[in-house]
Structure 1
C-alpha cells in the first residue's frame, strides 16, 4: 500500500472517528438533559418547592453556559478543540454526581398525610378520621425558631446542590456544540455538512428518548427504595405526593457522559480538508523527493508554526464581535431563535405536569409517552430536513423556505391543541361544591361544609380519598368519614357524611385512598392531543437542519465558532433562563391546593386549575408573536 493511500485512509478514519464521537457526545448530553427535564416533578415534590423555584433550578444549566460560552467559543476555536470537548464531558459528569448528594444527606422522605396509614396497624383496630384531626390555626402553628430548626434538620436547602450540579453541567456542555460543529464543518466537504449534521442530531435525539424512558421507569420506583418498608407506603406512583428514585438516574447519566469523553483525548487538533487529502499527499510526496534530491531550496521550506499567545488572541476579540454583529442575517437569525426558544423551553419544561394536571395522566406515563412518541417524531423530522436539503440540493434561500414552512405548520398544530381539553378533576370544595355544582375556588375555606363542620378537620393537609360517587375529597376527615377498615393502601373509609350531600342518590357512603380517575371521554381527548403533539413535533423538526444551514452559510469562515457560540450565549441567556422561571410563576398562580411541608409552611402544589394552567402553559399569544417575528425577519432576509 502506497504512503499517500495510507495518509488518505488515516485522515478519513479520524474524521469518521470524530463524527462518531461527536454523535455519542450529543447522545450523552441529551440523555442527561432529558433526564433532568423528566425529573423536574420528582425534584419539586422531594424538596417541597414551588414551580417558580424549580424553574430557577432548571435554568441553572443555561446560567453555567452563560459564564464561559463566549470565551470557549472564541479561544477554543484556536486551541485543541477535541480535547476541550473531552474536558467539558468530564465537567458535565461531575455535575451529575454532585446532584445525587442531597439524597444521601437528607433523611427519608416523609410525604404529607392527615393521619397515620401505617401497615403495621392491626386490621381489627378502627381509625376514626373525623375525630383524629385537629384544626391547624395560626395559634397552633409552631414558632419561627422551631420551624427553622426543623427545616435545618430536614435538609430543606439541599436543593442548592442540585442547582450547583446543574450549573456545572451547563459549564461542561459549553464547548460541545460550537467547537464540535465548527471542527466538523472545517474538515468535511461542504455538500456533506448538512447530512453529517443531520446524522449527529438524529443520534443525539436518541438521548432524550432514553432519558425520558429512564425518567419514566424511575418515577415508578419509590425514592427511598432499599431503605424503607414499601408495604408501609400508602401512596402510589399516581399520587401527587409520590416521589420517584430521581437520584439514581443522575448516577447513570453521569457515567454515560464520562464514557463519551474518552475518544476526544486521542484526536488531532486539525485534519486535512475532506476531498483534498489526495492532492496534499501528492504535494507531500513531491516535496519529499525534491528534498532527497536537493531540488528544494532551503529558503522555500515552510517555517515552523509559532505558538499563539493568549494576549494575541484577546486583542482580536472585540473587532471580531463587531464584524459578527454587523452581519444583518446573523443578527436576525439570532432574534428568530431567541423568540422561538423562549416559548419552547417554558412549554417543554412543564409538559409532563401539564399532561398530568389537564388529562389526569400519571407523571410516569406522561414522561414515557413523550419519550416514545414525541422524540422519535423529532428525530424523523430532523433527518427528513437534512435529506430534503441534500436530495434537492437546496441553497440558502431554499433552506430558509423549508424552515419557514415547517414553522408555520408547527404553529397550526399547536393552535389546534389549545382547544383540546378535559374538565377539572372533581375535588369537593375546590373544583366542585359538596353538592356537585361546578366551581373553582382558590379560597381554602370552601373545603369546609356543613357535613364536616363538626370534625375539626385540617384544611392544610392533602390526603385525597375517592368516594363511590366519583368525587374526590381532600382528606378522609373533610369527607366526614366516621370509621375505617383495612391497612396500608387497602384502607377503606366508611360512613362518610359528605357523600350524602350529593344530589345523586348513593347508598354506598364509603371512600378509598387516592384521587378518583377522570371521566371516560378524557382519555379519548388525550389521544387526540397526543396525535396533534406528535405531528407538530415532526413538522417543527423538519425545519431544524435547514435553519442551522442558513446560520452557518451566512457568516465568514473565521467567525464560525464565535458566531455559533454567541448565538448559543444569547439564546440560552434570554431564551433559556427566564422562561422556566416566569412560566413556573404563572403556573403557581393556578394552584388550587398547596401542600404542607413537614415543618409547616407552604410546600409543592397538589392540584391546579386545569383550564387556567392550559392557557399559561401554551401561551398562544407568545407563540403567535414568535412565528410572526420568525416569518417577518426571514422574509426580509430572503425574497420569499
Structure 2
C-alpha cells in the first residue's frame, strides 16, 4: 500500500528535525579540541560558540513572519540546508588552516632536554663522562653553592647537581655545552619521550621541581601562528547555523498544527519535544566516540587520548551531520507544492459520491490567499514593515501571550545556566567523577523530563485540559518543580574538595611553607588523603617524592588510579608517610548523591508535564495567522533575555564561591577549589541570616517568581480552547468508518439469504414439474 503524501511529509520532516537537533549540540563536545588545535583562548572560544545566538536573535522574527506566509516546507528545508552548509564550513577550517603536526621530539623544547633526570632518561654515566663532569665542576660551581640531596649513585648525583644549576642559569655557554654533550650521549628516543610524556600527562604531580617545570611548559602561552583565519571561519559557520536554526521550530509547530487532528495534536507536539531532548544526548555520545580518534588519524608516537595535548577528530562529526542533513533537507525544500494528496484512499459519502481528498497545508491555511492559493503579501516594502509592526503590536496587546512569554523567559533564565553548571556543582559537592554525573543526568534529568513531556501530552487528552484548567496544570507543575529544587538544597556533603576548601579558609594557600622547592603551582588538582582521612590538594602538595608504592609508570599494565599509593610524603604528619585516593572517605557522599538524583528525577518529570500545555497556550492565545510570528517573537525575547545571559549569570554566582584560582598566562585562570558550603549556602542579607541553600534557593526563587505569570495566564485563560473538539461531520465520519465492516457483513448475509432462497425456489419448481 502506497503511503499518503502527508505521511511521507512527516517522515521527511521528522528526519530533518531529528538530525538538526543532534548536530546543534555537537559543538559542545568539539570546542575544547578547537581551542587546542588553533590555540584559541577561552575568552574567544566563548564568543565563537555564542555566534549562533547572535545570528538567531535578530533573524528569528523575520523568518517566522515571512516564512509563515509562504511555503513552510520550503522555508524549513532552506533553513536545514543552511545548517548543513554551516557544518561543512566549520569542518573546512581543519583543511583550510592546517596545523603542522608536532614532532615527537618537539613536545618538550630542546632547551629543556638537560632537565630530564635519571628516572626519565634511565641511563648511567660511564667513568669517562664522570671525569668530564668533575672537570666542569669548578667552572660551574666554584663555591659549591649548588647543594641538593639526591639518592642514587654518585655519578648520577653529580649530573643532577649540574642540571639543577643549569635550570637556574639557563642560557650560559657552559650549560649549553653540557646540554649538547648529554643530548649527544643520551639522545631522547621515542620510548624515552613517551615516558616523559606519560609523566607530564599524569593527572597528578609529584614534589619534583624539574618535572613540574616541564609540565608548566606544556601550557605556556606561546603561539607563533595566527588564530584569526580559523576563528573567523568557525565563527561564520556558527552564524549561518544560527540563521538556519530559526526555521524548523517556529515554522514546524504551526505546520504540524494545520495537518493533524486537533485531538491528537498534543501527542505530535510531545514527539517533537522528545526528539529535541534526545538530540543533545546522541550528539554528546557521538562526539565522545569521534574524539577518541586523532585529528588527522595519525597521532604522534606515544600520544594517547589521555594526554592533555591530544586533539580529537572533532571536524569529522560536522562532516557526518552535514552530509546526513543535506539530503533530507533538499527533499523537503523541493517537496511538491501541490497540496492535494492524490495517494490518500478514496472516501465516499452516504450517497456514494467521492469525497474531496485530504490536503497537505504547506501554506498557512489561516492567512488570506489568492485564487491560485498563494498567500497575499503587502506589495511595497513600507506596507510589509507596517504589517509586521501591526502583527507585533497585536501580540504585545495579547495578555495571555505576554504572560506566558514572561514566564518562559524566567524559566529559561533559571534553567539554562543551572543545567550548564550542574555537573560541575555535583562534582564539587559530592566528589563524584564527571562520567558518572553525565550518566545520571542523562538517565534521570533528561529522560525524566522527556517522560514528563509525554505524560503531559497524554494528560491533556485524557483530562481534556482547556483554558484555565490547562493554565492551572502548568502552574501546579511549575510549583512542584520549584519546591523539589528547594529540597535538593538540603542534600549536601563535605567532599574532599570541601575539606581542602575548609583548610584554605583557615590557613590560606594550600600547605604554604611545606616543601616550597617542589614547584607545585603547575600541578593539577588531584585530591588525596592520608591514612587518617586528611585531604591534600595533590601528591605534590603532600610533599610526595616521585614514585609509587604499588605501581611503576614504566609497567605495561594500566594502574587503577584510585588505588595508587604515593609514598615518602614529607608534609604528612602521620607516622605513615603515604597518601592515596583510596584513603578518602566517600560512603556518606555516595548515599546523598543518590538521594539528590532521586529528587532530580521527580523534578524533571514535573517540569516536563507542563511543556506541551504551555506551548499550546501560546499557540491558541494568538490569532491562527500569527502563530509562526508568535513563536519567532517568543524565541527572540527568550534568547535575548534568558539564553544568552543565563550562563554568564550562573557562572558569576558559582565563581563568587571560589577560594583558589589557577594561574594562566600570569593571570587568573579557572577556579580549582570552591567553598562547597557557599555553593549551597548563600548569604541573602548582609547580616547573620543565611539561607540554607545557595544555588537551589536562587533557582527555586526564580521558578516561583515565574508563578506570577502562570497566575496571570490562568486569570485571562477563561474560555481558551487548546484542543478543538470533533465537529459533527468528523464524528459522523468516524461512526461511518466504524459501521463500514458491519454494513459489509449485513450485505453479505443478505446476499447469502437471497441466494439460498433462490436455490430453494428452484428446487421447489423442479419438484412440481416432475
**Normalising TM by the smaller chain, what interval?**
0.7 to 0.9
Alignment of 1:59-458 (within 5 A): 59-100=50-91, 105=98, 121=120, 130=207, 132-133=209-210, 150-153=222-225, 155=227, 163-215=235-287, 217=289, 221=292, 226-228=297-299, 248-269=316-337, 271=339, 308=377, 309=379, 311=381, 313-426=384-497, 430-433=500-503, 439-440=504-505, 446-453=509-516, 455=517, 457-458=519-520
Q: Which of 589, 606, 620 is residue 656 of structure 2 equivalent to? A: 589
* Mapped partners of 1:167, 1:378: distance in 2: 29
- Once the two structures are TM-superposed, the CA of residue 306 in structure 1 deviates from its matched residue by 8.8
Residues 4, 341 of structure 2: 8 Å contact kept: no
Q: Tell me: higher relative CO, structure 1 or 2? Use CA pairs within 8 A at least 6 residues apart.
A: 1
Q: Is the 8 A contact 2:61 2:636 kept in 1?
A: yes
1:608 to 654, 665, 674: 674
Taking the aligned partners of 1:420 and 1:354, their CA distance within structure 2 comes to 12
Q: How far apart, CA to CA, are the structure 2 residues paired with 1:111 and 1:387?
A: 59
Is the Cα contact below 8 Å between 1:111 and 1:242 reproduced in 2? no
CA distance in 2, matches of 1:31, 1:462: 33
After TM superposition, the structure 1 stretch with the greater mean CA deviation from structure 2, 348-357 or 559-568, is 348-357
Aligned length: 586
Asked which structure has the greater CA Rg, the reply is 2
C-alpha contact (below 8 Å) 1:218/1:249 kept by paired residues:
yes
Cα distance in 1, alignment partners of residues 525 and 434 from structure 2: 18
Shift of 1:547: 0.7
Q: Take 2:354 and 2:433, find their aligned partners in 1: how far apart are those partners? A: 64
Displacement, 1:62? 2.4
The answer to whether the 8 A contact 1:592-1:608 is kept is: yes
Equivalent residues of 1:342, 1:579 under 8 A apart: yes
Q: What's the offset of the Cα at 1:494?
A: 3.6
Distance (whole Å) between structure 2 residues aligned to residue 34 and residue 118 of structure 1: 45
Structure 1 residue 164 displacement after superposition: 4.5
**Structure 1 residue 31 corresponds to structure 2 residue 22:** yes
**Alignment partner of 1:497 is 2:570:** yes
1:464 maps to which of 526, 539, 543: 526
Question: Scaled by the length of structure 2, what TM-score is found?
Answer: 0.65
Indicate if the aligned counterparts of 2:90 and 2:233 stay in contact, CA closer than 8 A. yes
Instruction: State how far apart, in whole Å, the 1-side matches of 2:373 and 2:609 are.
Output: 47
TM-score (norm 1): 0.77
The 1:498/1:247 distance shift into structure 2, 3 A limit, reads farther
RMSD: 4.6
1:435-483 Cα offsets, whole Å, 9 max, x none, are xxxx537x9x613434313x25253542636354355544554322344
CA contact (8 A) 1:464 1:472 kept: no
* Structure 2 residue 620 is matched with structure 1 residue 553: yes
